[in-house]
């Protein structure tokens, strides 16, 4: 994972996970609502601002030693310009899968898709 960013659009908030490095394949994803957010492996709670939580698992992301891309810093972003996205937390990377959480003001419809050059996974969350 190279970076994460969130922004406001007319009818939705967008979160973009950008991948990079030498060993990155075409990323895939699994996105679902969870409550409460817990870390893969340990099951420990993950502190995420919001009242509804999307778990975003990006597959084929590679690991920092494989891709040559260090983990992003900061690992939490709290955008001020978004309407429903309160916080994005990058949690764990294991066996090429990167798990993150998006904290929202409430459950909303969302869509997920992939962009290329550079490889990105995009999550759009509707405002209403």
All structural domains of the chain with their residue ranges:
3-126
What's the pLDDT score for residue 61?
83
- Rounded Cα distance, 88 and 111, in Å: 16
Average pLDDT over residues 56-79: 82
pLDDT digits (tens, 9 = 90+) for 83-109: 999 999 999 888 889 999 999 999 999
Positive or negative: CA dihedral 104, 28, 60, 40: positive
pTM: 0.93
Region for 89 from its dihedrals, namely left if φ exceeds 0, alpha if ψ lies in -120 to 50, beta otherwise: beta
- Rounded Cα distance, 28 and 109, in Å: 19
Using alpha carbons, list the distances in angstroms from residue 25 to 45, 113, 123.
30, 15, 19
What's the pLDDT score for residue 67?
76
- Rounded Cα distance, 29 and 75, in Å: 19
> How many other CB atoms are found less than 10 A from the CB of residue 101?
25
The hierarchical CATH code for the domain 3-126 is 2.60.40.3500
């Amino acid at each position: 994972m190279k970076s994460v960013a969130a922004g406001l659009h007319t009818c939705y908030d967008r979160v973009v996970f950008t991948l990079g490095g030498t060993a990155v394949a075409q990323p895939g994803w699994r996105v679902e609502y969870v409550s409460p957010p817990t870390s893969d492996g340990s099951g420990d709670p993950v502190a995420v601002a919001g009242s509804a939580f999307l778990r975003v698992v990006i597959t084929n992301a590679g690991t920092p030693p494989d891709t040559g891309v260090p983990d992003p810093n900061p690992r939490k972003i709290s955008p001020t310009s978004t309407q429903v996205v309160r916080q994005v937390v990058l949690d764990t990377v294991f066996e090429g899968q990167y798990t993150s959480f998006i904290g929202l003001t409430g459950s909303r419809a969302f869509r997920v898709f992939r962009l290329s050059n550079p490889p990105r996974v995009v999550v759009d969350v509707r405002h209403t």
